[in-house]
Structure 1
Amino acid sequence: MIFVTVGTHEQQFNRLLATVDNLKAQGVLKDEVVMQTGFSTYEPKHCQWQALFPYQEMQSLIQKARIVITHGGPSSFMQVLKAGKIPVVVPRLACYREHVNDHQLAFARAVQARYQNLLLVEAMPELAPVLANYETQVADLSTLVVGNNQRFNQKFEKLVWRLMEGEVR
């Protein structure tokens, strides 16, 4: 199964939904496709879809999916990584009125360059080849999520221990 999520941002992401729906209609995608369409106005004709899913159901769909296609919202693609999968990230772009600016593209590029743990699709014609070669492309990628929260907590814990021992005044 392929799961597509566009998040809960109030602007549409019709471009991604229509592209995946068309790939399914053309037989390019053989897998069952389930979409979370958010506030988009496009209604898929060849894929199962729902505007929003409860959190637990989203987690279940991510776990069940062979491939997860997500917008460039960090929370969305980090959930996929935490589930041990490499996300296909398609950032929303301002020129299509999908977001207020192109921060999703900038952030996804930065994560891709630094951690190399996502497949970034910057233009819709790239999506079909990425999906067709998904297993090959992700074979050597790591789903390791290195977060600043963990580093912060480790430093904070050391500071607390030093305070308790009277080393810091």
Structure 2
Amino acid sequence: MSPSALTGDEPVDVVVTLGTDHHPFARLVAWVDAWAGAHPDRTCVVQHGTAPPPTHAEGHAVLDPAVIPGLMARARVVVGHAGPGTVLDARAAGRLPVVVPRLAAQGEVVDDHQVTFGRWMAARGQALCVEDEDALHRHLDAAVADPGAYAVERADGAPPAAVTLLGDLIDGVLAR
């Protein structure tokens, strides 16, 4: 795929963002790259951060923040770590994000807060939380087959439901 995929207007099958944490998330990059290797006819863009770059997908250590919303809007599916920025950005672009929580035991984050957050957002219909490679691959296949199933209404002016839910979560934590 040519570098123009970042700024063009053609659809992108899969967009993966890992946030800006300094911990590498090689596990997710490898899972997506394995799928990309099995689907060479599909467009897959991965912002891999400090993890090793993918070999089959188009990899970028860092994506220009100005490019991300348009890239996500053109994606059939957005995949990322289970961080609030990923969820909010994907939903603002009209995509139901598929999130994979970073795990402390794998050195991907300092604690397992992303497991709690990803499951919490999934229980509220704000994201799809997956925790194994097979489940991720099933979602990627499903999104390519039916991208409408991974679309959500874009927020125009009003805070997205995910923002309201995140605010409620933060208020609950602060109240304790």
Under a length normalisation based on structure 2, what TM-score does the superposition of the two structures give?
A: 0.75
Secondary structure of 1:56 counterpart: coil
Offset, 1:126: 1.3
Change (3 A) 1:76 1:26: same
- Which stretch shifts more, 136-145 or 18-27? 136-145
Q: Is the 8 A contact 1:116 1:141 kept in 2?
A: no
1:32 aligned to 36, 39, 43, which one? 43
1:54 aligned to 57, 60, 64, which one? 64
CA distance in 2, matches of 1:24, 1:140: 19
CA distance in 2, matches of 1:36, 1:47: 10
Amino acid paired to 1:39: T
CA distance in 2, matches of 1:71, 1:45: 20
Question: In structure 1, what is the equivalent of residue 4 of structure 2?
Answer: none
CA distance in 2, matches of 1:14, 1:139: 27
> What are the ranges of 5 or more consecutive residues in structure 2 without an aligned counterpart?
1-11, 169-176
Question: Would you say 1:77 and 2:111 are equivalent positions?
Answer: no
Structure possessing the higher radius of gyration over alpha carbons: 1
Under a length normalisation based on structure 1, what TM-score does the superposition of the two structures give?
A: 0.78
Question: In structure 2, what is the equivalent of residue 122 of structure 1?
Answer: 131
Offset, 1:98: 0.4
Q: Is the 8 A contact 1:86 1:138 kept in 2?
A: no
> What are the ranges of 5 or more consecutive residues in structure 1 without an aligned counterpart?
153-169
Amino acid paired to 1:4: V
Q: Is the 8 A contact 2:87 2:126 kept in 1?
A: no
Question: In structure 2, what is the equivalent of residue 4 of structure 1?
Answer: 16
Question: Would you say 1:90 and 2:90 are equivalent positions?
Answer: no
RMSD, aligned CA: 2.5
Q: Percent identity?
A: 32
